[in-house]
Chain A
């Protein structure tokens, strides 16, 4: 120690790495502060990483599915046209080739139009025939989308002429798989459904985001028959149109509404017929928008809880650091500078949390893509891109301010005189700060309650759905799809021959109890449906025309699927339709839903159904149990079972044991029947039931995960605050014990504090949850949004867990030594 130097010479004083400005200085101090409290820093960063990571992962899905523009030119101007026939329970359908041609004439609103239809092909010529998902597309489709092949050329108008359609465009995936990405694939020929097609181009991978799993494109080349007037209502085309520049969606809708009004529908559709013009983006994501936003909201709540937790930790620290803040103020720091210093620490925590969160998001995102239902659009486009990175950074910064601001403002309001008193006592937290901390915990419990209730409702919905009787017995049934090519099986007799031969082979296999063929198994998307007529039944002017799901199945279908016969009899092999048309002596079976809808308590056996109001009529010979064909959550509209075999068929087999063990044998039987015939989509019926719930399960599972995370964070927060309050009250507890309080009294004293916070949080959470669950209503099944049982279970769980979380600090309080505590001051 020495005196001051009067001469005061300026000697160089080297200072390495000195900060360039004050912000960097704050940053450096903040880094040092965090490094000196590794426990606090680790907890805070990990909490934030979980919150931010979950948000980034879900946002990456939302961004890819809802935000990112479709990978086509000017996607906002591309629309899809649907027919609307609500009177026959068809709110939105595809259109026919003839209607596509008609509507394409609206050149006043449409710059161009295009259409595609689904089509599968059997690829033969390799070791094992393969089933390929394909599309028939008009030549105008790719120019309309603004998509060019990466190799070769797109379809020309000449390719799209009927008879010239033997050219094919490969998807990027198939090109890689079949040809290893070699340019030499161009010009090669492949065998599809027994016919030779020339490969003329390869489409870009980005198209797979719009049309996932599509491997082949062939020209639509509609046949004269497809374009004939008699097929006007064969609705299987998806029509796209590009709006002219300057033409609004409303103008296009008005033009098509006028067109719809002119349509002569024969009076069956009446004035309820419409043509919907829907943006392509809406078409792609409309169904998933609400569930995704709900998930984003849920994960946002998790982050909010994480923020509240850290704000609470910071408040505790700001109490301990009040002396430092007072010194800073005493040597000239304004309130703003103190707030900035503390916010810098918060932001640094948040950015560290964000960085680790990004790693967690990358993992989470991969898991999400794996778990995502196959129907999630653009799932292949989900990735961490600059938008997601920007989101993560933004969320991190907002989070830093969110959890840092309140403690910083509190710290900046420290009573300097008190804090600088020579006792050097650290701030014990005034009544206001304790109240704030309690308030924060109450809000955490409330937020956790909201998430737990929402998650509970979704899980209960799922459980209720799993309890739903699908109307058939899925156990021990294997299903596989077979699609006979029309070129080879060009008449009903050939289809019948294949079907009968296959069923003979399969039913003779040991371990097979029953086998049947049907056009489609239940719970697969896009069930066949049609308008039908009932003999001597004339619907009123406002009544819907009878409309149903249509199943074409061989006689043993009911026994195979375990669908009970309720009345009459099953149809027989002798009653199989030889052509797909009803004729004299034709019979059908119907399900109970259809029987009740049109005959009530009367017996429908012997009544007639037909596809024309003039007949011919098929006689109803049996009533079977109702099957939930589209969705377990939806009541069946009614189903007619026709004794007929179609070219696109599903083989269903009931076995004595695990049906998956029969898959290869059954495939061999198909190949033995026709060596060029592939089978695909091999699944047990139990798997199909599960798959039909995958979207609901995905949402319920994610929400449950987030709710669990929120629950744990809230309990950590509650535990920390109770522990803090115990520390604050050590002196008081010491006095109480010195005055004769027993351990039970102290335990009650501490636990009651936690109980008050938990009950307050549950009360507040109940109110918020009652409002929030309304948003969930459309996602629920068999559970009311205000389901009392769920609310009670969640409330009980939270209160019990809160008591458990407070037990440890409470027990610590009971071990306070009065002598030590009273010396504490």
Chain B
């Protein structure tokens, strides 16, 4: 299968005075299109940092990173932003909806950043509202929604631009288990439909929805195995 992401010897460090602290060390990995990958590890292992780098929110690292065979490490900030904008959707633990925008507007805003024409934007948002069955919430602000509803909007926002990759950082961390399951089932259906998904989680239960688990510790990849193997083992 064609790789979506290839990383070779990727490292991220921060300097504090004379010392240099590595957040990620010699990360080498490959993620194919259509995979559902979970990144796990203890706190401070570098999971979220790796996710930010994959999502091109963080450009300060060394090594090689290819996304759709494009060398991200050689791209300018603008080119990286374009690549990110065209292909990646984010889902956050704290939902990170924009407080001052309605549900409709929260869904619409990534489309406007992609310069999607107005009519098409409206049509896509309406589709999305339908698809996630939140038409009735479209004029509400995030503060008027429950956590589960907010995360649903967060997923809808990530999906609306039809990304090739969805990055989810503890997507159910703030939800109770029933709501969490529904979100994970939603991810599963999206993955089944062809979207690549990478999630960071502490939850074994959530990890079980994925195909592969990458274990991080102290910035190093310390293990990698398929979910089937984990379940079998």
Residues of A participating in the B interface, judged by any CB pair closer than 8 Å:
1-5, 8-13, 15, 18-22, 25, 29, 32-33, 36, 323-324, 326-335, 337, 416-417, 420-422, 424
Contacts and interface: CB of A to CB of B under 8 A. Distances in A.
Contacts, number: 120
11 contacts: A1-B149, A1-B152, A3-B189, A8-B131, A13-B130, A331-B89, A331-B157, A332-B85, A332-B113, A420-B96, A422-B94
Given A3-B182, A332-B114, A334-B78, A417 B94 contact: no
A2 B133 contact: yes
Interface in B102-118: 104-105, 109-110, 112-115, 118
Given A15-B104, A332-B110, A417 B98 contact: no
Interface stretch (B32-40, B52-60, B65-73, B225-233): B52-60
Given A13-B129, A332-B85, 18 more contacts: A3-B133, A4-B186, A13-B122, A13-B138, A29-B100, A29-B105, A323-B96, A324-B99, A328-B98, A330-B90, A330-B92, A331-B90, A332-B114, A334-B85, A417-B49, A420-B92, A421-B48, A422-B169
A331 B110 contact: yes
B39 to A, nearest CB: 15
A15 B122 CA distance: 8
B45 interface: no
Contact of A416 (B52, B78, B101, B104): B52
Contact of A327 (B58, B96, B127): B96
A422 B174 CA distance: 10
B189 A11 contact: no
B96 A332 contact: no
Contacts of B208: none
Which applies to chain A's interface (DSSP): helix, strand, loop or mixed?
loop
A331 B113 contact: yes
B201 interface: no
Nearest to A12: B126
A32 B105 CA distance: 12
Interface in B155-205: 157-158, 161, 169-170, 173, 179, 182, 185-186, 189-190
A335 B80 CA distance: 12
B9 interface: no
A1 B186 CA distance: 11
B123 interface: yes
A664 B87 CA distance: 92
Contacts of B127: 8, 10
Contacts of B113: 328, 331-334, 337
A91 to B, nearest CB: 65
Q: Which 9 A-B residue pairs are closest in the complex by CB-CB distance?
A: A13-B126, A332-B113, A332-B85, A2-B133, A331-B110, A416-B57, A327-B96, A417-B52, A333-B113
Given A10-B123, A332-B110, A417-B49, A1 B131 contact: no
B126 A331 contact: no
B112 A3 contact: no
B135 interface: yes
A15 B121 CA distance: 12
Nearest to B170: A422
A330 B168 CA distance: 12
Contacts of B77: 335
Size bracket of the B interface: 35 or more
B63 interface: no
B144 interface: no
Given A328-B109, A422-B94, A2 B132 contact: yes
B130 A5 contact: yes
A3 B185 contact: yes
Given A13-B130, A15-B122, A19-B118, A331 B109 contact: yes
A332 B52 contact: no
A689 B105 CA distance: 68
Nearest to B149: A1
B186 A3 contact: yes
A4 B189 contact: yes
Contacts of A333: 109, 113
A349 to B, nearest CB: 16
B84 interface: yes
A329 B82 CA distance: 11
B87 to A, nearest CB: 10
Contacts of A328: 98, 109, 113
Contacts of A29: 100-101, 105
A15 B105 CA distance: 11
Contacts of B58: 416-417
Contacts of B185: 3
Contacts of B148: 1
B182 A1 contact: yes
Contacts of B49: 417
Given A25-B112, A331-B113, A332-B85, A18 B186 contact: no
B195 to A, nearest CB: 12
Given A3-B186, A4-B186, A332-B110, A18 B94 contact: no
Q: Which of B118, B169, B185 has the most CB of A within 10 A?
A: B118
B211 interface: no
B27 interface: no
A766 B220 CA distance: 58
A100 to B, nearest CB: 72
Nearest to B132: A4
A124 B186 CA distance: 100
Contacts of B52: 416-417, 420
B149 A420 contact: no
A414 B89 CA distance: 19
Nearest to B133: A2
A8 B130 CA distance: 7
B231 to A, nearest CB: 24
Contacts of A4: 131-132, 186, 189-190
B93 interface: yes
A742 to B, nearest CB: 32
Given A4-B186, A29-B100, A422-B93, A11 B157 contact: no
B125 interface: yes
A130 B158 CA distance: 85
A768 to B, nearest CB: 38
Nearest to A416: B57
A324 B98 CA distance: 6
A2 B186 CA distance: 9
Contacts of A417: 48-49, 52, 57-58
Contact of A330 (B55, B186, B190): B55
B98 A327 contact: yes
Contacts of A416: 52, 57-58
Nearest to A25: B112
A464 B133 CA distance: 80
